[in-house]
Structure 1
């Protein structure tokens, strides 16, 4: 266990500037979005049933937006591997005691720590919004966070899997370009994937959002999101493990 603590601590020391900056930016964003919730609290009693419903949907959408930002930040690449290759640490690390599996596990631990860290902030917002406005917020927020974290992890898995093929600074640029291109290709595929929502009937945007949020709040949807997240974490571990296997330069 001491080995894992050392590896996680090393990665934290190298990436703390990145995560601190991301945390500050996220908290500023969350603060901006929590203000309307506090303002709406004063006028809830004066709203009609339809206005109250639309307000709840709006707050839930904001929670989903924050979940998307937090999930992306937590799952995104922290640039430690790129720095390790550029500095020559990757090749030097082959002579160190940690095995490929241990290093892959420590990478996954760091990811999970940051995912849990940002999840705490997001759930605080969702809980506060639910307490003030009410509505179905927490379940859909959890689902959205798990989904976006999984997508971000997929991007990072592909990026690191390709980037770690480089063993020297000379290789870094070539594999960095390939890894970035793969990420862009995946983004294009995801954004152009055909998704049909609803039955084709003309409904208002508020109703459509309400239906989406209602679905994401259901227990089965949360379980599916969690299962996908676990599978992606396993994939991340396997790819990192295989990538850390020693390659002769």
Structure 2
């Protein structure tokens, strides 16, 4: 356990400026969006506009939190540049222990930003009554999953590239493939039929933003988000384990 703590502490210490900056910016946005919920109006003539505003704000905040939590933190590149990858070969941590430490670091990031987005959603729900918790958390999980997969692909590319030019070519190819996949997913989502969860006499009937939020917050989408998230973490762990093994003498 002490070894895991040392590896985790080292990673967070190396990126402490980045971590503090991102957390500060997210908390600033969180506070701003939370204050907006205090002026939420129940006026039927304005409720659709208010719902649109909170759905967009919540989407933006959940997206940013998921992106930051799942993205590569840049430690591996720093290790490659400083020669740490060669030095750690003679140290006690095994490839499995290094992979477990990397996975724990990723989970800590996800826990921190997931807690921030949950506090925001809970505060907004109390003051607006929109019940966006599932909507916000599913978006967070989806974007965290996407960026964990991107990080996994990056590690995979680094593992098989033999020089800097090959790394750049393979990295560019991975980015192009990722963009194509995201475009295909967006088209697939756009073809999904969504129905209003409220009766025709409800003030929110016909609000496309509320319909979208209700669909994303549904149980089926939650099951897909959670399962995709777990699978992505499993792939991330296996890729890192294999990557650390390849560095062994």
Same fold (TM over 0.5): yes
Q: Quick check: 1:159–1:180 contact (8 Å CA) kept in 2?
A: no
The count of aligned residue pairs is 238
Inter-partner Cα distance in structure 1 for 2:24 and 2:144: 19
1:26 paired to 2:26: yes
Indicate the residue corresponding to 1:102 in structure 2: 97
| Greater CA drift, 96-105 or 31-40 | 31-40
Give the aligned CA root-mean-square deviation in angstroms.
Answer: 2.5
**2:55/2:209 contact within 8 Å kept:** no
Q: Secondary structure at the match of 2:15?
A: helix
1:128 aligns to 2:161 (yes or no):
no
| 165 and 94 in structure 1: CA distance in 2 versus 1, 3 angstrom threshold | farther
1:6 corresponds in structure 2 to 6
Alignment of 1:92-241 (within 5 A): 92-165=87-160, 171-172=163-164, 174-193=166-185, 194-195=187-188, 196-198=191-193, 207-241=207-241
Contact map agreement 1:136 1:213 (CA 8 A) in 2: no
How far residue 199 of structure 1 moved from its aligned partner, in angstroms, is 7.0
Aligned to 2:198: none
**1:26-67 deviation line (CA, Å, top 9, x unaligned):** 222223323322233xxx25x11x532442343133112211
Relative to structure 1, the CA distance from residue 219 to residue 12 in structure 2 (aligned partners, 3 Å threshold; closer, same or farther) is same
TM-score (norm 2): 0.86
Aligned residue in 1 for 2:201: none
SS at match of 1:135: coil
Secondary structure of the residue aligned to 1:9 is helix
TM-score after normalising by structure 1: 0.86
Cα offset, 1:164, TM superposition: 4.0
- Uncovered stretches (5+) of structure 2, i.e. residues with no partner: 196-203
Residues 125 and 214 (structure 1), Cα distance of their counterparts in 2 relative to 1, 3 Å cut: same
User: Matched residues in 2 for 1:164 and 1:68: separation?
Assistant: 28
Cα offsets for 1:69-101 (capped at 9, x unmatched) = 000011111110001011111012111111111
Higher mean displacement: 22-31 or 171-180: 171-180
**CA 166–2 in structure 1, closer or farther in 2 if over 3 Å, else same:** farther
CA contact (8 A) 2:194 2:215 kept: no
